[in-house]
Structure 1
C-alpha cells in the first residue's frame, strides 16, 4: 500500500514535497526552510513572519487527514518554529476534543451536528467553519472481485442495512456468487460513517457483521485481502490503492474529479471542513498564520493527495472570513 508521502511525491509538482517524501524529514525541512527564508527576504517579508513561534493543535476526520498532513508538512518548511500537531480521532472524536477545549481546530468530513453546536455554545466556544475540498465517498471491492461493477442506492441499502440475515452477493443480484459479503466500514465516530448513514441507510442500523475502524488504512487492507469484501471511505484512499482496489460505480457513475466536482456522483459527493476556535485565532498568532496558509494552499494540497479542489472563490471567501476574525 502506498504511503501518503509517496502519493504526494508522485502527484504534486514541486521539489519541496519530493524532498519531504524521499529524504530525512528534519533535513528536508531545514533545506526547504532556508529556501523559504531567502524568498521571504527577497520579497520583503518581515522578520516577525520569518521567526514566528508557537504551538497549534487539531484533531478529527481521517478523511481530511491526508490534506491536513500535507499542509502541516509543507508549513513546517515555512515556519519551522511553529509546532502543528494533528490527531485522527474521527470527525466525532475530534469534535469531542474541540468541545473540551483541548484543540484549536477540528477536521470534519461532514457538517457539524446540532448537538455539537449546542455543546460548543454551552462551553463558551465560538467557532468558524471553513471548507477545504470536495470528496467522493468511494465504495470499493478487491481487484479480485470480478462480478461487481455497478450498484444502485437500493443495492447498497440491501447490503448494508441490518435485517437479521447473513448477506450474500446472490441476495443482491442472482447472477453474483452465493458467497457471504464481508463488510468494512468507518467507525461510528467517523464523519464518513455518519454521511453514509444519512444518505444511504436513512439512519437505519448498519449491518452488525461489519468490521469498523476509525483508521481508513485498516479498511483498505481488509478489502484488499478478500475478494468477497466491500467497504467505503474517502476518494483519496481509493486513489492511493487503486492497483489493488476497484471503485464501484453508483447508479452508473464512477467517482472521479469531474463527477465529484459537478455533483453527478450522487449522493456520495460531499465537502470537507475544518472548524476553528475564534478565541484561539485571536490569541494565537501561530494558529492564525497556519490557517491562512492552509486556506491559501488547500486546493493544491487536496489535488496532490487525491481530492478535488474547491473553486478559487471559495478559498477567497474563506480568507476574507479569516481576516475578519483577526
Structure 2
C-alpha cells in the first residue's frame, strides 16, 4: 500500500451519489470551503443539508493552469454539496505541480495539459506515490496575436518554429515573411514548468531544437493575454479556454501543420474531430494512496462524472465522451476498491 494521503488516510467507503449540474464557474486563484467544519450549518443550527452525508476532509489540487478552470469549477460545486469538505485548487503548472507537490506526496491531485513524464513517474515512485491517470477533456491550444496584427491570419508549424526556436535569428515579423511589417516580435508564453510549454516545445518547436528563452514566461495565462493585447507585435499561446474568455482582447491565428495543408481555426469542434493540428487531451492524476481517502475518492468520482457535462464546454474545452467517462470510472473503482 502507498504512503498516507496528504489529506489524511482513511478507509474509502463509497456512499454518495454525485448528481446535478455544475453552477457558475469561479476563476479564483484558490477555491476553499470556509465552513467551520464542526458539523453545524451556516446559521449554526446544524441543519445544513450539505453536511448530512457525514463526508468531511480535505482535497489538495495543484498543477496545470490549463486544467485549473475545470478543477476550480468542480471544487466549487462539490463543496456546495458537501459543506465539510475543503477543496483547494492552485495553478502551479503541470511540471511544477508534479515536481513540487504531487510526487513529493504533498497533494492529492495534479492537473496536467500533457501526459506525465518518465522522470516524474520515477520521482513519484521514489516517494511511494503511484499516479493514476484520468483523461478528462480536450483542448485546442491557441496561438494568438494582437488585434491590430491584420497581416497574419494563419501560421504554419515551420513559421511557428522560426518564431519560437532558440536557434532562430528571427526578431521581426518581416523575418518570417518578407511582406510582413518590419516590427519586433514580442513573445509571451507559459513558463517551462507548464505542460502547455512542454506540449508546444515537443510538437511544434521539435526535438532537434529548444524553445527560445527570449520571451516573457508566466504561469498566469491572463498575463499572456494582457501582453499580447498591449503590444502590436505580440504573439503567445495558451489553452483555448483563456482565448474563449478573451476573444475580444486578442486575435486567434489559424494553424496548419504542413505547407500544403489547410489553415484551421482553433475551436472545440475542430479539436473534437481532430482537424485542428494543436488539439490535445487534458488530464488529472490522482495519487493511489489519496484515493483511499473518502473525500478524495468521492471528489474524483464527482469530477469524472461531471467532465462529460456542459460545464466543461462552457469553460472552453471539449467534454469527455460517455465512453471515456465509463473507462475513467471503471479505472477509479479498480484502483480504489
TM-score band by shorter chain is: 0.7 to 0.9
Q: Which runs of 5+ in 2 are unaligned?
A: 1-19, 28-32, 36-40, 257-262
Structure-2-length-normalised TM-score: 0.82
Cα separation, partners in 2 of 1:271 and 1:55, compared to 1, 3 Å: same
Q: Which residue of 2 aligns with 1:8?
A: none
Q: How far off its partner does 1:129 sit? A: 0.3
2:276 to 259, 265, 269: 265
**What are the residue-to-residue correspondences of 1:258-297 with 2, within 5 Å?**
258-266=269-277, 268-282=278-292, 284-297=293-306
Residue 270 and residue 30 in structure 1: after superposition, are their counterparts in 2 closer, same or farther (change >3 A)? farther
Q: CA deviation at 1:164?
A: 6.0
Question: Using the alignment, how far apart are the partners of 2:286 and 2:127 within structure 1?
Answer: 14
Name the TM-score, length of structure 1 as normaliser: 0.85
Q: Which residue of 1 aligns with 2:222?
A: 217
Where in structure 1 do 4 or more consecutive aligned residues deviate above 4 Å?
18-21
Once the two structures are superposed, residues 275-311 of structure 1 have per-residue CA deviations (whole angstroms, 9 ceiling, x without a partner) of 10111111x1000010011001123231121111121
1:205 deviation in Å? 2.1
Counterparts of 2:26 and 2:144 in 1: how far apart (Å)?
Answer: 30
Paired residues, number: 296
Tell me if the contact between 1:188 and 1:194 (Cα under 8 Å) persists in the aligned partners: yes
Higher helix share: 1
| 8 Å CA contact 1:183, 1:229 repeated in 2 | yes
| Candidates 95, 106, 112, aligned match of 2:116 | 112
Match of 1:230 in 2: 235
* Mapped contact 1:36–1:77 kept (Cα < 8 A): no
| Aligned partner of residue 244 in structure 1, secondary structure | coil
> For residues 170 and 323 of structure 2, what CA distance do their matches in structure 1 show?
48
Deviations 1:58-89 (A, max 9, x none): 10000000101011111111111100011111
Match of 1:305 among 315, 319, 322: 315
Task: Give me the whole-angstrom Cα distance separating, in 2, the residues matched to 1:129 and 1:235.
Answer: 22
